[in-house]
Structure formats: C-alpha cells, structure tokens
Structure 1
Amino acid sequence: MKMEAKDVCVEIENDEFYSKFLNDSIKPLVGENLSVTDQVTKLAQGIEKLGKSLEKQVLAKHNDLLTQASHISDLENTLESVQSQVQNLLRGAEKLKERVHTPYYALENQTIMLERVQTTCNLLRHASKILTLWNKLRTIKDNPSKEAIILFDLNELIGDYDFQGIIILEEILSAVNQRRNELLNESTNSLQSSLLNGDKAKLLQCFRVFQNLQCTEEQIKKTVDNMLNDLKKEINSALNVQMVSIEVKKSSSGRVAPGKANIMNAQDFKLKLWDNIDKLFKVDIYNSCTKVIMLQTVMNELHAIGNFRTIAKKFWSDLCLVFSNELEKSSLTVNQSVEIDYPKLLKCFNDLLSKLKCKDLELNRSCLIKWENSFLSKSLGKLLEPVRSIWHLNQVPTMDQIDNAVRVISEALSISLGDKQLSISLANSVAKSIKQMNVEAEQRLSMDNDVAQIIESPTSSQQKNADLCNSLYYFSTQIKRVLLNMNSMLPQESVQIVHNSLKDISSLPVLLMFAESIKNSLYIILMTLHDEPDLIRADDPIGKSLSCSPYMKELQQFVSRCKDIYLSMYNEKPALNECYMNIARSCIERFIYHICNVRPLSKFGRVKLQIDCKYLEVALSPLVSDMTEIGDYYRQLKALHLLLEKTPQEIAKSQSEGASLPYSMVMMFLFSHAGHQLLAPHTCAGWNIQKLMQWLDTHRSEKERLDFVAGALQRYQNHIRQNQIASYDEVYPVLLQMLEDGRNSLRI
C-alpha cells in the first residue's frame, strides 16, 4: 500500500503536465498543446488518482485515525480545564493588585509629605543659621578676615537651597551678596595698593580675606595677568619705532646740522631705544617682579593649599615669552639694534635677576635664541674679518694689523662679561678666529728643500718662515696678555677655550726642521773623533797641558754659528728652548755612543776624551746655559767622564752600585780595554761606525743592545775554544758578569 501511494506521488511529480501545478508561483497555462477540455480531463484523472490513493491510506490507517480522534477530544477537555484555572488566577491577581496599590499610594503620599516637612525644617534651620550669622556679621567691625569667614559660610548656606519667596530673608540675602562684593573689592583695591607700597602686612591681610572667601587662586591669576598685560603695553611702547623716532626728533630738533641729520638721527634713535629698554627693565619690569615675589613670599607664609609655589617662576617664564614675542613683532630697525647690541639686552636681564636675588627666577635663553644666534654670527664675521684682511695682500702681517686683530678679539671677550654662556660662545668664536690665523700662516710657510739649509746665509724662504712664526708668536703673546688682564672677569671655561686654541700656534715645527739639519751636521763632526791621532798616542799625558780635540772646537763654532745666524731669527723663547734641548740631548747621546765605541784607545786618548767631555758643556753652552736642565743626558755625560779614568774592575763595581749609563753602553766601552782578539760588537757584525750609529738610533731597547753585545762575547768564546787558547782576556769575565747583571736589572 505504501509503495502504491508513493508510486502515485512519483508519477504526478514526474509528469510534465502535473509538475507545473506543484509550483505555487506558476499559474495554469492556457496556451498548451492540449486543448482546455483535454487539460480539464487530465486534471480530473489526476485528482481521481489522488482521491483513490487517499481512500486506500484511510482504510489502511483507520484504527490509528480513530485513536487520534479520541485523543483530540481528551485534549479539548484538558484545555477547557486549564482555561478555567487561568481565569481564576487572573481574578486573584486583580484582587492582589488592589490590596498592594492602595497602601503604596498611601505610603507615597506620606513620603512626599515627609520630604516637604524635611525641606521645610532645613529651610528653617538654614534660615536660623543665616539670621544668626548675619547678626554676628553686623557686630564685627574692622576685621575683614573674620567677615570673610562669615560671608563664606553665609554664601555656602545660601547656595544650598532656594530661599526665593521667604520675605524675611530677601533683604538679608541681598545685603550678604552686596557685602561680599564690597569686601572683595576693598581687599582687591587693598591688594593693589599693598603691592604698590610694598606693605607686606596689609598684603597678608588681603590674602587671608581671599583665602577665607575661597578665591585666592582667582585673585592671584587676575593680579598676575593684569601685571603681564601692563608690562606687555610697556614693552610694546619701549620698542615702538614710531614713538621712539618721534621722541628722537623732538629731542634733536634744532641742533643737527644739515646733511648730517640721518646719521645723527640713527645714532640718537639707537641711544633712545636702549634708554627705553634700560628704563623698562630697571623700573617697570623690576617693580612688577618685586610685586610677584612679594606675592610668592606671602603665599609661602600663609601655607595656602593649592599650586602657589611657582607663582614667581611662572610669571617670569610668561614675561620672557611676552618680551620675546613683542621684540619679534617690532620693526626691523629695532631687531637689528638688538642683534648688534645683544650683550646689552643680556646685561639688562642679568642685572635685573641679580638685583631681584630670587632663586626661582633664571634667564630663559630659549626665548632669546634668535637674537643670540644672529649676534654670534655677526661677531664671528667681525672676528674673522681682520684675519682675512691681514692675509689678503700681505705674505707676512704687520704689527699694526696683528694689534688690530687682537683688539677685535679683546672687544669680543669684554662685551660678554657678566654672562657665562655668552662668554663661552664668544670664546669659541675667538678660537675659530685664532685657528683661521694659524691656518693662513701655515699655508704660507715654505717647505722647499732649502728651508732648513745651514750652509749659506738664510734664504728668503727661511727669512719668510721666521717672520711668519714671529708674527704668530706675537699674535699669541698679545692674546695671552689679554686673557691675563681679563682672567678675573672671564669664566675659566672661556679662558681655557682660548688657551687651548693657542696651543697649535708654535714655531717649534719649523725650528725642529733646523734642529734635524743641525743634528745631522753635528753627527758628521762627531764622527771625525775616530780619526783623531791623539786617541792612540802612547806617551804619558801626566804633567802635560792638554786642550780639547780639534773636532770639539769645530763643534763649538758650528753650534754658535747656527744659533747666531739661523735660530736667532725666531723670537719664541719656549719653542727655541725646546729646540735647543733637542739638539743638546741628541748631541750628548751621539757623543756617548761614539766615546763608548772608540777603538783602539790609549791612556793618553782617554785623558783627551775626558777633556772633550768637559769641553762639550762649553760647546753646547750657547744653546743650554744650565746643563742640569738636560737631566739624565747630562748625568750620563758626567758618568762617562768618570768612566774614562777607571779600570774595568772599578767600572764593574761602580755599575753594580748604580750608575747613570746603561749596561750596554758601559760594556761597549769596556771593549776598548781588551786585546785585539776580543772584537767589538759592531766589528763582529762587519759594520763601520756609521752603520753602528744607525743601528743604535733604531734599536733603543736595552734588551736588544745587551743581546747585541752578548753576540760578540759568544763569538769570542767560540774563537778561544776553536783555537785552544789557554786563557781569556782579562776584560772578558768582567763583561760576562756585567751582562748577567744587566739582564737581571731588566727583570726587576
């Protein structure tokens, strides 16, 4: 049966004609291929099929359908019972609503009545307090502070409720408001007069009134704002170019000659402008600042609650900003005058702050940075201008030109007195000027091949170099004199900046070029001592009158000639002394090298070398008057003098007790006491004296030099063994012991 019903449905759904009627949105189509009669017939057939299918299903399910029909009857009975119960519940709810609403409305009315009673009580209570305070207020005389307290309390009471309509209070409320305004106006007027007269006691009284009226902050803001507005007008007036010009014309009329009016008027304008600015700071701004500081002091003494500890600081900050804005809005002429004479403006600020002596006030430089930068830029241009003009046409500056440049530098440093930061900034500009001077001079120094020649008379290049160095030295000494005179007034940072810039100015680099040429010539002269015949003379020197060797006389003449002809061209004594010391040290050192390596050397030769040691001091005296200034080099020369008269054993003993000469040099000298088989270290290496000097110059380590000597000793030992010589040279053991002592001294 199920399959038959399903088949009927499937047949209808799949039928092209019937399927069109299954869609609700499709209407029966008349224009089909079938005629209307055929369509109706087919529809009737389909309905008949569905009817038969339904009948079959009803017959098959009739027991189930009857059961469901009986259940529907039971459901209707149940619904009727539920409906009856719902109606009873609604009636009960309505009765409950009536029982709740009645007392609620009654309670609401009682609450409203109670609230009104409470309000009335409060009004009466407040009215009573107002009347009491009013009566108390009327009894107070000449005590604004207490009046303020009562008026504040009255104002608080009046503000709590609306007393409109209460006749008894109408006049009182009006009188309270009027009295409060009167007291506030009186205190405000008293505040202004107290600030003007500097009456601190009255000012305290005013602020006690304001504090009791709870309007302190408002009054302070109003007072400070009024001061700032007044100062703004004064600043604008002082910087107003038209007003200044009118005043200048009035003051200068009838006294300026024709043709000079513009120049005089410009000068008078500048003087009048700075008079205005000076008066502005000394009178208007000073008076306002003292008032604000007094306000700050009073508020600190009252210990008022609120942000009252920065009144003066904020006022000063706002004032600096106002001044900066007004100055920036002023005319180009005023701005240019301020840029040119910016230190005057800074002095006005600094003098004012110094006069006020308030730790909360300090200059806000950021407000003036525009004019400060412009001033510094112009100042740098002024400082560099004389330097450029010096070198524009001249190869060597004159004294007058240098004096002019120093004068400009002195003026630049002096105009910054009183302001540390500006002084440091100007000191940096001065340092740039000094550096430019040095750079220009260095570019003109000649570095040709003949610049350090010491054979002929000084060349034009050498003379030019000397003149340039002397000019720079004069320039440096003059600036140092300026610094010395201004040392107590200038900040030490500024002094140090300028001093540091002068460090690069020195004649020493040029002098050291001469020193190298002089030393090379001295080295050649000293080399000739090995050719002196007196060093190997066999006769006894005792009782003979001996003089120094010819090479030493030549050395003395050469040193004197170099100083008189070449080095005397330079005026810078510190650089000259350094050059002299450099030459003297190198000469003594090379002399020691040669003496310690002279071989063969007789007893007569040692005495002769002692005389040369003594005479070397005389030869170098044109350069160094006090030989002790050379330090260790002079001590080594003295030690060498003593060394020449001692035996090897005495030398070893004195060396172990501590001596000025290094072990390596003493050991080289001891080879001159040995026989011909104990070859000197440089002879073992196959070097001549010149090669040895070069090696010593480039190998200054004592360890390397000891190893160099040790190589000669080792070669001698090998020679003795290979040739089976019975005994060593008497100096050999001394050398071995000194070698060990020297190496031990390096480990300490």
Structure 2
Amino acid sequence: MFVSIQNLQITAERLQSKVIEPYNKTSNQTAMLARLQQTCDLIRRMGRIFHLTKRLRSQLQGGAKEITKAAQSLSEADYFLEGIDLDGIDIVQEDLAFLREAKNDVKLQAEDMLERGIDTQNQSLVGAALQVFFNLQLLQPQVLQVVQKAIERLQEDTSNALDVAHLTQQVSVSGLKGPGKASIPVAGNSAPFRAALWTNTERVTDNVYRAFCKIRHLEKVLVKKKDPVTHTYFMQELRKNGHEDILKAFWESVTDMLSKELTKASNDSTFLKQAFEGEYPKLLSLFNDLWKRLMNLESPQATRAEVSSLSEDLQADSEQSWCLTGEGHSSPEDMLWTTLKPFENAYLSRSLSRLLDAVNIATSTTTRDTPTREDMDGILRVIASELKVASVDEKLCRTVAKNVVQTIHHLCSRCEHLVAMDGADVTQVIGPPTAAQQCNGTVVHLLHHFTGGINDYLGSSNLSSDATSAIRNSLQYIDGVMTNAIQPLLDSIADSIEAIILTMHNENFAQPATEKTATPDAPCSLYMRELQQFLSRCRADYFALFPSCDVVTKRIQHLASRTIELFVRHASLVRPLGDGGKMRLAADFAQMEMALAPLCQHVGDLGRSYKLLRSFRPLLFQTPQHLAQSPQLGDTVPYSLVLHFLFAKAPTEMRSPYETASWSRTRYSKWLDQHPSEKERLVLIRGALDAYVQSVKQRNGKEFAPIYPVMNELLQKAMKHEKC
C-alpha cells in the first residue's frame, strides 16, 4: 500500500513539472496583452482628450454662441475620463487642468445666462443655459438650485420687510427733513410707521409675483425644450427623478414661507399683530391683487401650437399638477389663503365682538328700558361699516355676513326679553293702552326701523348675492319677534270679537217681515253696532301703537278674516230665522264690511274670506232646493256652512249638530276651530241627521220633514266632493 502511494506522488510531481512552465508563460503573455490593451485604450483616450481640448479651446473663444458646443465637448471629455486615472502622466496634466477650469467657466457662464434669461423672460437664453446643464449632466441640480435660491431670496426679503427694526430705520430715514427734524419713531404710534408697514407688505406680494413669473417661465421652457441629439424633453429628464412640477413645489414652499414669516412677525411685534388682525381686509386686498395678477398671466395654452404632441402632453400634465385639488390636495388659491387664516380668524372674532357689543349697549339688560331709534341707528352703522370693509373680498364678505346674521339673532333674543308676552296688562282691551302694550309697540317700531335700515343698505350696496340673501333671510327672525309682540293683543281682540258676535244669538231673528225690516235700509243689529264701535276703538287705541308694516298688516288682515269666519259661522247657526230676521241679518252682512274698515282699508284684499262674506248673503233668501244647487258651494262657501244654515229652516225636532252633542254654541265654535277639516265637520253633521232619523222612527213618524231629503242629498254630494 505504501509503495503505491509513493508511485502516485512521483507521477503527480512529474505531471506538475510538465504543466507549470507552459502555464506561467501563458499567464505572463496574457498579462502583457492586457496591459498592452489598457495602454492602447489609454493612448486612444488621451488622443481623444487632446482633440477635445483643442476643439474646446476653439469653442471657448467663440463666447456665448459656442457655449452649448463647449458643454457638449466637456460632456464627451467626461465620458473618456470616466473610469481611468491619468494622475502621474505629465503629458496630459495640462489638458486635464484646462478641462477642469473650462468646465467651471462654462458652468458659471451658463448660470449667469440662466439668471439673465429668467429675469428678462428670454426663452432663448434660458433654453441655451438649460442645454448646457443638460450636456454637463447638471440639469436637475441646477434647476432645483434656481428654485431654492428664489425661495431663499423671497424669505430674506420678506423677513427684512416685516422686521420692526428695519421698519423703524426706514421711517427714521424718510423722516429726516433737515437739521433738528430727526425723531425717534415708536412702532405703532405714527402714521408713517403704519404706512411703511403696508408699503413693505405690498412689496412682499410684488416679490412673490416676480418670483412666480420667473419659475413659471423656467417651467415653460423645460416643457418645450428638448435635447437635439437624444430628443429628450428636459421636463422628462426631471421627471425621471421624481420632480414632476417645479412650479407647484415652488408655490407650496412660498406659501409655507409666507405663513411662517407672517406668524413670526406678528409674534415678535404686538404692533404688527394688531395691524394684520385689525386691518385684515387691507392685508387680504393685497393678496387678492396678487392672486388676480397670477391668474391674468398668459395662459400656457397659447404656446401649445408651437410644440409637439409630447410636449403638449407634458404641458397638460404640468397644468393639471398645478391645479390639482381634491382629497389630500389643496388648490393653489387655498394654499395662499391658508397663510392668512390666523389673521382672518382673529379679525372675524373682533368683528363679531364689535357687532355684538353694539347690540349689548343698545339693549342693556340692567334696565327694562327699551332702546331708542338712535340706538338702532348705532347698530346699523356698525353693521354697514363691517360689511363695507369686508367687501374687498367675496369670501370674507360672506363670512362677515354670517356674523351679521348672528348679530340679528342676538338682537332678536335681547328684544324678546323686552316684550311682554302674557298678563292682564298685555291682553286687556277695555281701557287705554297699558305700559306693557306701549312697550311692545315701541319694540315693534324699533325692529321695523332696523329692518328698513338693513333693506336700505342692502339695496344700495354691492354685496354678493350670497351675502345679501343670508342677511335678508335672517330678517324673518325679526318678523317673528314682531309677531310675538303683537299676537297676544290680537288674540285678546279676537276673543272679544267672538264674544260680541256670540251675542247675536240673544237677539230675536224669528220675527216675520214688516215694512221696516223689508226695506233695503233695514237697521242692523245691536251686536253689529257694538262690534263696529269696538273695532274702531281698537284701531284708535291699540293698532296705532304699531307701525304700518307688512308684518303688522298681515296679522291684522288675519284678524279681519277671522272676524268674517266667526260672523258667517254664527250667522249660519241662528235659529229660528224668520223673514224679518233674514232682512236684518242681511243688513248685518252689509254692515260687516263697514265694521272691517278699521282693520283693512280694502276689504277685498282679504281674498277668500271676503268672497265668503259676499257670497253667503244672497243665500239667506234662497229656498233649500236652490241652496243645494248653488254653484258657489264647495269652493267659495263650504258645504258644512250651508248645511248649518239649512238646520235653521228645519223644524225644531231636527236639532243642530251642537244640540245633538249637547254642546253650547261657544263649545261648538271651539270644536270647529280645532277641526278645520271639512271631512270631520261633515261627519258630525251626518251624525245629527242620523239622530233625527232615529227620533222619527222611535216616535213612529210616517214621514220626514220636507227639508230632510234636500239636506241628505246635499250631504251625500258634499261627502263625495270631499271623498269621505
């Protein structure tokens, strides 16, 4: 075994001696070939660099016209220098130093060209500079550097413009008029200081506008310009690294900077804080002007005819990114207004305080005294002042209008505490007006004066339709307070009217016709004369407390309609009714129109109630058959009313609905008020007729009263009409 192993080792050593020498020789020759190839590549690159250096020297002598070609040569030189180290090769060191110096020089020239092109809005200069940076592979960092420098310059200018020390120095310099004229200004105590602040703030907006125009111009060239060799648009090159919209990024940075600088300035100086918050509309006006100028810039669409479809798509994407809104995004306009939000909130809070203070002063809760017209004029002046100042901006105006609405609600709440709603001194209608009734009248007068002042201002102002509508709609709350102030008295008057009308049932309407009652000038009843006197006294004593306005007029007209309703209702319930009674009742109908004169100048304005009054009077003299066929039934004269009247023509054993229910006329009248539905009334009347039928059957009567078939037929017709 041992001998075999030794033989194997000897054989391996013999083979190794035969292989190792050829391997070492081959390895050395391969290494020499590789070094020879590297040397050839190095010489080739050096030769190319010598050539590029020579060409570059010539191009640099051409100045700005050849700068893009020089950048291309530098780009080629960088390509040939990539991955190799030429340190220690003396022959090329001079050229390498020249290339480094030339690259730095070309970059500086391109930066200057780009700055001048942006400042002068020269697309050719900007395009050439961008081409240089593209060739030098510096496009992205250089564009971002331009944007960043613009933001930093804006921040520095804004910080200086809003710095109290700079403002003080600015006022001091401008105030030097000659020897002995210098003074030390105190921030906030001089008009020049305030004027300097607003001048500087306006300068800030001007700087923002100019910077925006520059960046917008830069983006426009990036969208249009493409490399003539690779045909790559510069904007595409930026998007490869995630920089899709430099204008949007710039605007986000600018608005964020403005927000921080304005907040810092207001925190550092109480005067600036008071100026920006107290005179916020002026600050908002400056920013409004800035936004309007930005919106009036030349539309990018104007250049689309000059570019290819790909550039057009890039421009469309850029615009979409700039205007991008929705969930997770804010519009550029919203970004701008967000910078002013703290000052807007403070201003609106102060504005609301001024408005509410005016109401609180006018309607002091320490006394029960009602405010004066001068107090209302003071509130109106404050409202007009706040709306006028806020009219510089539609959104601000709408918000201040909401404050005005809140102020009107507060005024209504304060006036409600002044209004007496219950008690005998509010509802009495026997003697002269009480102090409580006079107070309510004064409150209604003042609220009417206030409403008129608001409407006059809205009619002469240039407020937006939204703000005007919001304020006008809030006036309905004032109408509600005015209604609450007058309604208790009107309800009491209505109760007294019904009490007077109820006395008609105490009079005798069963007498036959006489020569006196048969004349057209038949005397009216005693209750009617009492009603006329009462309504005339109400006009003189109570209605005179209130102004002649729509709210009061409508409530009084409603009272007049209620009077007609009660009168016709109880006239239909009168029984027995003789021919003489009909004539006197007809005279009462005629006198009712005269009685209503104190309530409304034109009784015809009462509409349906007046038609009922005029239509029911002729029915007094018609037979039951004619009544049942009258064309006025249903629409003008309710069926239930005619059926009530037909009970007066029926025999006594056919009892009226209220008699069947064992009610008084007063209770029945209240039931009718509580059940305005014609269906419910007809059902009750049907019960009365059914009770009559049962009574006839119980006494074994052989026939019904002649009027029963007429009433039953009319009832069926009415039930069908009302779909009972």
* Cα shift readout 1:252-294 (whole Å, capped 9, x = no counterpart): 4689999998799433322222222223323x33322222222
* Structure 1 Cα separation of the partners of residues 75 and 254 of structure 2: 34
One of 276, 291, 299 as aligned partner of 2:222: 299
* Structure 2 Cα separation of the partners of residues 98 and 536 of structure 1: 164
* Structure 2 Cα separation of the partners of residues 263 and 165 of structure 1: 67
Instruction: Say what the alpha-carbon RMSD is for the aligned residues.
Output: 3.3
Letter in 2 for 1:269: F
- Alignment-derived partner of residue 286 in structure 2: 348
* Cα shift readout 1:636-660 (whole Å, capped 9, x = no counterpart): 3333234223222222223697542
User: Is the partner of 2:477 in helix, strand or coil?
Assistant: coil
* Structure 2 Cα separation of the partners of residues 163 and 272 of structure 1: 62
* Cα shift readout 1:423-466 (whole Å, capped 9, x = no counterpart): 33322332333222222222222235111222211111211222
CA contact (8 A) 2:509 2:581 kept: yes
- Alignment-derived partner of residue 152 in structure 2: 229
User: Is the partner of 1:505 in helix, strand or coil?
Assistant: helix
* Structure 2 Cα separation of the partners of residues 663 and 103 of structure 1: 135
One of 583, 588, 594 as aligned partner of 2:559: 583
Going from structure 1 to structure 2, the CA distance change for 1:218 and 1:260 (only over 3 Å counts) comes to closer
* Structure 2 Cα separation of the partners of residues 165 and 398 of structure 1: 102
Q: Where do 1:718-729 residues align within 5 Å?
A: 718-729=694-705
How far is the alpha carbon of 1:667 from its aligned partner? 1.4
Going from structure 1 to structure 2, the CA distance change for 1:676 and 1:182 (only over 3 Å counts) comes to same
How far is the alpha carbon of 1:85 from its aligned partner? 6.5
* Cα shift readout 1:42-97 (whole Å, capped 9, x = no counterpart): xxxxxxxxxxxxxxxxxxxxxxxxxxxxxxxxxxxxxxx6x777777767777777
Letter in 1 for 2:134: Q
Note if 1:454 corresponds to 2:454: no
CA contact (8 A) 1:546 1:608 kept: yes
User: Is the partner of 2:363 in helix, strand or coil?
Assistant: helix
Going from structure 1 to structure 2, the CA distance change for 1:113 and 1:198 (only over 3 Å counts) comes to same
Note if 1:312 corresponds to 2:247: yes
One of 403, 408, 426 as aligned partner of 1:429: 403
- Alignment-derived partner of residue 326 in structure 1: 261
Letter in 2 for 1:699: H
- Alignment-derived partner of residue 243 in structure 1: 166
Letter in 2 for 1:526: I
Q: Where do 1:560-599 residues align within 5 Å?
A: 560-571=536-547, 573-599=549-575
CA contact (8 A) 1:232 1:322 kept: yes
Letter in 2 for 1:562: C
Note if 1:383 corresponds to 2:355: yes
One of 469, 479, 493 as aligned partner of 2:454: 479
Structure 2: stretches of 5+ with no match in the other structure: 226-232, 298-321, 324-331
How far is the alpha carbon of 1:705 from its aligned partner? 1.4
Letter in 2 for 1:314: A
* Structure 1 Cα separation of the partners of residues 477 and 4 of structure 2: 118
How far is the alpha carbon of 1:108 from its aligned partner? 5.1
* Cα shift readout 1:556-582 (whole Å, capped 9, x = no counterpart): 332232123212222261210221122
Letter in 1 for 2:447: L
How far is the alpha carbon of 1:215 from its aligned partner? 2.1
Give 1 or 2 for the bigger CA radius of gyration.
1
Letter in 2 for 1:470: H
Greater mean alpha carbon deviation, residues 448-457 or residues 242-251: 242-251
One of 38, 48, 52 as aligned partner of 1:119: 38
One of 121, 141, 147 as aligned partner of 2:70: 147
Note if 1:268 corresponds to 2:176: no
- Alignment-derived partner of residue 693 in structure 2: 717
One of 649, 661, 681 as aligned partner of 1:685: 661
Structure 1: stretches of 5+ with no match in the other structure: 1-80
One of 519, 525, 536 as aligned partner of 2:494: 519
* Structure 1 Cα separation of the partners of residues 575 and 374 of structure 2: 60
* Structure 1 Cα separation of the partners of residues 588 and 21 of structure 2: 143
TM-score by length of 1: 0.81
Going from structure 1 to structure 2, the CA distance change for 1:163 and 1:259 (only over 3 Å counts) comes to closer
Q: Where do 1:98-247 residues align within 5 Å?
A: 109=28, 112-127=31-46, 129-130=48-49, 133-134=52-53, 137=56, 141=62, 142-165=65-88, 169-247=92-170
Q: Where do 1:84-95 residues align within 5 Å?
A: none
Going from structure 1 to structure 2, the CA distance change for 1:647 and 1:250 (only over 3 Å counts) comes to same
CA contact (8 A) 1:535 1:608 kept: no
* Structure 2 Cα separation of the partners of residues 631 and 96 of structure 1: 134
User: Is the partner of 1:208 in helix, strand or coil?
Assistant: helix
- Alignment-derived partner of residue 228 in structure 2: none
User: Is the partner of 1:219 in helix, strand or coil?
Assistant: helix
Note if 1:402 corresponds to 2:402: no
Going from structure 1 to structure 2, the CA distance change for 1:124 and 1:493 (only over 3 Å counts) comes to farther
Greater mean alpha carbon deviation, residues 139-148 or residues 689-698: 139-148
- Alignment-derived partner of residue 694 in structure 1: 670
Greater mean alpha carbon deviation, residues 506-515 or residues 110-119: 110-119
Q: Where do 1:600-619 residues align within 5 Å?
A: 600-619=576-595
TM-score by length of 2: 0.83
* Structure 2 Cα separation of the partners of residues 599 and 564 of structure 1: 35
* Structure 1 Cα separation of the partners of residues 493 and 485 of structure 2: 13
User: Is the partner of 1:317 in helix, strand or coil?
Assistant: helix
* Cα shift readout 1:121-150 (whole Å, capped 9, x = no counterpart): 543554455455556556654243343334
* Structure 2 Cα separation of the partners of residues 690 and 270 of structure 1: 76
* Structure 1 Cα separation of the partners of residues 258 and 643 of structure 2: 83
Greater mean alpha carbon deviation, residues 451-460 or residues 150-159: 150-159
How far is the alpha carbon of 1:210 from its aligned partner? 2.6
* Structure 2 Cα separation of the partners of residues 460 and 126 of structure 1: 113
- Alignment-derived partner of residue 743 in structure 1: 719
User: Is the partner of 1:690 in helix, strand or coil?
Assistant: helix
Identical positions, percent:
30
* Cα shift readout 1:157-181 (whole Å, capped 9, x = no counterpart): 3224334455554444333333332
